[in-house]
Structure 1
């Protein structure tokens, strides 16, 4: 196949854009650390000046002005009159509203504090194939990952589960919910709050996550309705769960035990139960540049040295089929995530 006729300037500008992207993350981190996005969100359309940002903490005004002008240049801020600027459209939700499904600030922080360190090991890993699993990263890492998925937990509890008739009906009527791979407990707490009659549980094999999950449940005053199980020991009762969720978990399960894990889910589910998976789907080679594949490709590159493998659509379907589960629905959420809804086969 002949090389496409692409101007040289297009390619070099593309690389400059990637380089700028790293700088944008640091600019956002600085603004977050200093509380500026919260101040700008509170100011709304009237905006703020560099002096407004510098004054509360007595900051060095010349540097603050450079940050402010750069944020305008990179379209994080929009300029107003009288030397003011406001957050660009929707950046209040993206950078200043914890709990909003679109809140991406934790992902920026995790990228700089954790992912960047892993990416720096890739050169050596290409030679020796060394893997450092999720569980080996420690408590701070587990907490950071929990923060990055917090918006997805709200989305699952407040929108996706209520839109699944069987799940909504069961949980509203006091049914049972299990978050498989519950991490620090964010989703199981959100579901318990969204469905006050439901009996909820989470299970995980990561000890740091389990300890944090129990603290999360306790902080929410939900010990009487939410149980956290150590997945290294707990097996559960057959046909006892109405709804099982996996949020950003399937691709983190080692390939050699995925069939066993999904088989366990099938055993736990009631015959009219539902398994709800929110994750990425790795594209076929022809679709590597598809916008829908962007996050999956990034996740696979970022997490390959954790030992994670993002499955393709075909691999997902085979795993469910082999576990005795029937895929009822596959859809795309937010243009980048895959929602899979499955039920016990033979229902």
Structure 2
């Protein structure tokens, strides 16, 4: 055996464990507001930060040391102070923006907390249904997507479909399938006040959050949410735009769902699909984003599909698989949209 390869891989394992612990510490810092308190504060001591936040000093001290070793914070050994660089705060302390990463950290305990059950599914089959991830699962997804949907959906993403964008400006109808906490419908309703929006999802916890949010935003005349499947929608209802964001790969019946959605589109309507950005072949996904997505697939996406008897398509479908699925469902038009994103890929699908 090659001793250098053993040493290199041992270093790699330690690095992975360091990153895993760093993500866990970042979750704590996000949840209890430590990053937010450090943003723009300049150099600060552990005692000062503990006093500022009202948190336990010993925990704060150890957290600061861990985040320094993970290179999230800068440390001044002479003065024993810590600082969150502005460039890091831009990502860590910017909730509601389109560059906030706190939702990723919220997903860590939500997903890895299910590891024993997922391991059991390796042996006995089945999986973990979405509802079992509870309110923390809903919150994690909300935090991951809210800023992106609010800042980019109407102003950037939909502009790549100019006819649809124009129709919503003058007044159209939109269905968001798998709407989760409702952020797509709410964001688009604000941007297109003459259009009407329906969000539908099978998760009752998500729908409750969505209904509470639309009430707070005073958009109840423009937006409605339903808990269930397309069976809950009127038979004669048709839509100019149907959005399905980051969830086709999660479904128990993706083909049947797409067939149902096809029947709900106007002839010139668009099915706007967002999926995780992945290549068609494994060898092209061997990078950190690929490792993250395959992990998310096992611990969240694929397992919830398998839990309900679905095919478990997995997070990394790739464009070829998505196109094949939509064509099998009866769609004839498929376009990969020219939208820049490090983590997502966008499709416009039509009749």
Residues in 2 aligned to 1:282 and 1:120: alpha-carbon distance in whole angstroms: 29
**1:336 and 2:343 equivalent?**
yes
Residue in 2 that maps onto 1:161: 158
Alignment match of 2:48 (pick from 24, 43, 52): 52
Residue in 2 that maps onto 1:309: 313
Residue in 2 that maps onto 1:266: 262
In the TM superposition, what whole-angstrom CA distance separates every residue of 1:178-216 from its partner, at most 9, and x where no partner exists? 111111212211111122222111112222222222222
Deviates more, 1:175-184 or 1:119-128: 119-128
C-alpha deviation, 1:250, in angstroms: 0.7
Q: Secondary structure in 1 aligned to 2:158?
A: helix
Deviates more, 1:257-266 or 1:234-243: 234-243
Call closer, same or farther: CA 1:197–1:91 in 2, change over 3 Å.
Answer: farther
Residues in 2 aligned to 1:66 and 1:164: alpha-carbon distance in whole angstroms: 50
* 1:2-41 aligned within 5 A: 7-41=5-39
Residue in 1 that maps onto 2:331: 324
Q: Secondary structure in 1 aligned to 2:174?
A: strand
Residues in 1 aligned to 2:40 and 2:212: alpha-carbon distance in whole angstroms: 31
How many equivalent pairs are there? 337
Call closer, same or farther: CA 1:70–1:118 in 2, change over 3 Å.
Answer: closer
Residues in 2 aligned to 1:156 and 1:60: alpha-carbon distance in whole angstroms: 40
Residues in 2 aligned to 1:276 and 1:282: alpha-carbon distance in whole angstroms: 19
Alignment match of 1:170 (pick from 167, 170, 184): 167
Consecutive unaligned residues of structure 1, counting only runs of 5 or more, are none
Residues in 2 aligned to 1:79 and 1:71: alpha-carbon distance in whole angstroms: 10
In the TM superposition, what whole-angstrom CA distance separates every residue of 1:128-184 from its partner, at most 9, and x where no partner exists? 013221134444433443333323423324421234312321111121221111112
C-alpha deviation, 1:105, in angstroms: 1.3
Residue in 1 that maps onto 2:188: 191
Call closer, same or farther: CA 1:58–1:170 in 2, change over 3 Å.
Answer: closer
Call closer, same or farther: CA 1:118–1:63 in 2, change over 3 Å.
Answer: closer
Residues in 1 aligned to 2:14 and 2:157: alpha-carbon distance in whole angstroms: 38
Alignment match of 1:249 (pick from 247, 261, 264): 247
* C-alpha RMSD over aligned residues: 2.7
Deviates more, 1:134-143 or 1:218-227: 134-143
C-alpha deviation, 1:330, in angstroms: 4.4
In the TM superposition, what whole-angstrom CA distance separates every residue of 1:226-269 from its partner, at most 9, and x where no partner exists? 01133333234557311111111111112xx2222112222222
C-alpha deviation, 1:318, in angstroms: 1.3
In the TM superposition, what whole-angstrom CA distance separates every residue of 1:317-339 from its partner, at most 9, and x where no partner exists? 11211222411224574323211
Deviates more, 1:34-43 or 1:242-251: 34-43
C-alpha deviation, 1:290, in angstroms: 4.4
**1:209 and 2:209 equivalent?**
no
Maintained 8 Å contact 2:102/2:143: no
C-alpha deviation, 1:41, in angstroms: 1.4
Call closer, same or farther: CA 1:230–1:31 in 2, change over 3 Å.
Answer: closer
Residue in 1 that maps onto 2:283: 286
Maintained 8 Å contact 1:296/1:336: no
* 1:124-163 aligned within 5 A: 124-154=120-150, 155-163=152-160
Maintained 8 Å contact 1:238/1:267: no
Residues in 1 aligned to 2:143 and 2:116: alpha-carbon distance in whole angstroms: 22
Residues in 1 aligned to 2:11 and 2:128: alpha-carbon distance in whole angstroms: 35
Consecutive unaligned residues of structure 2, counting only runs of 5 or more, are 307-311
